[in-house]
């Protein structure tokens, strides 16, 4: 049983890609694809790391991030934001809300792995 990572993302192909990458690297990957119920999923078992997409059905990634930071249980969990919009504004917003890492799609596998490893080391 490796270290737990929670991937919140709605695109099935991207979920598959990241899951494949991280599990190969020794992570236990939990996935969730709905924004509305994402917080419940987090509270069931707080992961070591959260990868959070911005555009989710039901609830935006930013709102979830805000809740995560507000909840003392999860306030210190590293969060890596993924976004397909990639504008400077989005990055600033994410940082101000307390994102640990911000990554614009499309990303290279190496980038993801490096980031995850770096965050896990914190």
Binding site for another protein (CB under 8 A): 10-11, 13-14, 16-18, 20-21, 55-58, 84-87, 104-110
Phi-psi region of 26 (alpha: psi -120 to 50; beta: other; left: phi over 0): left
Residues 6+ apart with CB under 8 A from 112: 18, 21, 22, 103
Distance CA 105, CA 83 (A): 6
The pair of three-digit structure tokens given for residue 11, joined into one six-digit string: 């695109």
Q: Which residue's CB is nearer to another protein, number 33 or number 74?
A: 33
Least distance (Å) between residue 72 CB and another protein: 30
Q: Which residue's CB is nearer to another protein, number 8 or number 18?
A: 18
Residues 120, 48 contacting (CB under 8 angstroms) = yes
Least distance (Å) between residue 18 CB and another protein: 7
Least distance (Å) between residue 55 CB and another protein: 6
Q: Which residue's CB is nearer to another protein, number 57 or number 98?
A: 57
Q: Which residue's CB is nearer to another protein, number 20 or number 73?
A: 20
Least distance (Å) between residue 76 CB and another protein: 28
- Kindly write down the DSSP assignment for every residue of 51-98, as one continuous string: EEESS-SSS-HHHHHHHHHHSTTTTTS-EEEEESS--HHHHHHHHHHT
């Amino acid at each position: 049983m490796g270290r737990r990572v929670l991937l919140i993302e709605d695109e099935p192909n991207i979920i598959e890609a990241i899951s494949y990458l991280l599990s190969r690297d020794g992570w236990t990957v939990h996935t969730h694809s709905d924004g509305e119920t994402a917080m419940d999923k987090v509270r069931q078992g707080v992961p070591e790391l959260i990868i959070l997409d911005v555009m989710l059905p039901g609830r935006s990634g930013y709102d979830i991030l805000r809740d995560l930071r507000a909840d003392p249980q999860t306030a210190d969990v590293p969060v890596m934001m993924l976004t397909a919009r990639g504008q400077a504004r989005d990055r600033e917003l994410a940082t101000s809300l307390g994102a640990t890492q911000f990554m614009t799609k499309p990303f290279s596998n190496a980038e993801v792995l490096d980031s995850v490893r770096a965050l896990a080391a914190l």
